[in-house]
């Protein structure tokens, strides 16, 4: 339950555990209002966890000689809220989100689904079949042009003309110039 009374009780618990560093000319009501304003955005459980952390000495950089200031309490509340959120998140990771569905697969339902899948595959194939055949012809023609350009004549005469010499000439290697 989110009530200012619970938060005020926790602030009272905190201030009673430590000597006050506030000077004598500070208005005690304003002092409490400052603490309440500092923790107003946090849940009462977070305020309780922060106060417990101060009392047990678990707050970093707090030496415990004086009561913590309102901003220090707000920082500890923020840390407690983050710890609570992290714990809830990690707990949620291990729990299943939804139960497994209770579906019975009968032979009739399996046959019906297979027939629907076959019908869908045929419908898709019939729509794209003419395009696929045309595309295949275009692709084959493109590859043929590529092979003609990059696969030159490999006859011995053509090789000798391109390279300027022959290999394995029975009369010996001779220049063709």
Q: pLDDT for 75-110, tens place per residue?
A: 999 999 999 999 999 988 888 778 878 888 899 999
Closest CA to 42 of 73, 9, 87, 88: 73
Residue 6's alpha-carbon distances to 1, 3, 47, 56, 77, in angstroms, are 9, 6, 9, 20, 14
- Say if residue 51 is exposed, middle or buried (CB neighbours under 10 Å; 0-12, 13-18, 19+): buried
Closest CA to 105 of 95, 113, 96: 113
**Residue 42 near residue 10 (C-beta atoms within 8 A):** no
Using pLDDT thresholds of 50, 70 and 90, give the confidence band for residue 172.
low
Secondary structure letter of residue 18 according to DSSP: S
Residue 125, helix vs strand vs coil: helix
For the entire predicted model, the pTM comes to: 0.53
Using pLDDT thresholds of 50, 70 and 90, give the confidence band for residue 134.
confident
Q: How far apart are CA 77 and CA 14, in angstroms?
A: 13
Q: How far apart are CA 71 and CA 41, in angstroms?
A: 13
Using pLDDT thresholds of 50, 70 and 90, give the confidence band for residue 160.
confident
- Provide the CA 9 distance to its chain's centre, in angstroms: 41
Q: Is the pLDDT of residue 1 over 60?
A: no
What is the per-residue pLDDT for 175? 56
Closest CA to 39 of 85, 7, 68, 83: 7
Closest CA to 33 of 8, 50, 6: 8
Lowest-pLDDT choice from 33-47, 76-90, 139-153 = 139-153
What is the per-residue pLDDT for 173? 54
């Amino acid at each position: 339950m989110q009530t200012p009374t619970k938060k005020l009780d926790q602030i009272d618990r905190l201030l009673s555990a430590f000597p006050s560093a506030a000077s004598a000319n500070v208005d005690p009501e304003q002092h409490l209002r400052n603490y309440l304003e500092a923790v107003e955005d946090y849940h009462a459980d977070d305020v309780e966890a922060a106060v417990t952390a101060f009392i047990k000495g678990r707050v970093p950089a707090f030496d415990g000689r004086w009561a913590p200031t309102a901003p220090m309490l707000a920082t500890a509340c923020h840390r407690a809220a983050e710890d609570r959120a992290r714990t809830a998140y990690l707990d949620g990771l291990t729990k299943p989100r939804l139960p497994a569905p209770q579906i019975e697969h009968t032979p009739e339902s399996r046959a019906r689904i297979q027939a629907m899948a076959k019908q869908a595959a045929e419908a898709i194939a019939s729509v794209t079949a003419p395009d696929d055949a045309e595309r295949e012809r275009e692709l084959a023609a493109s590859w043929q042009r590529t092979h003609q350009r990059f696969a030159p004549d490999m006859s011995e005469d053509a090789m000798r003309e391109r390279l300027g010499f022959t290999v394995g000439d029975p009369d010996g290697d001779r220049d063709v110039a």
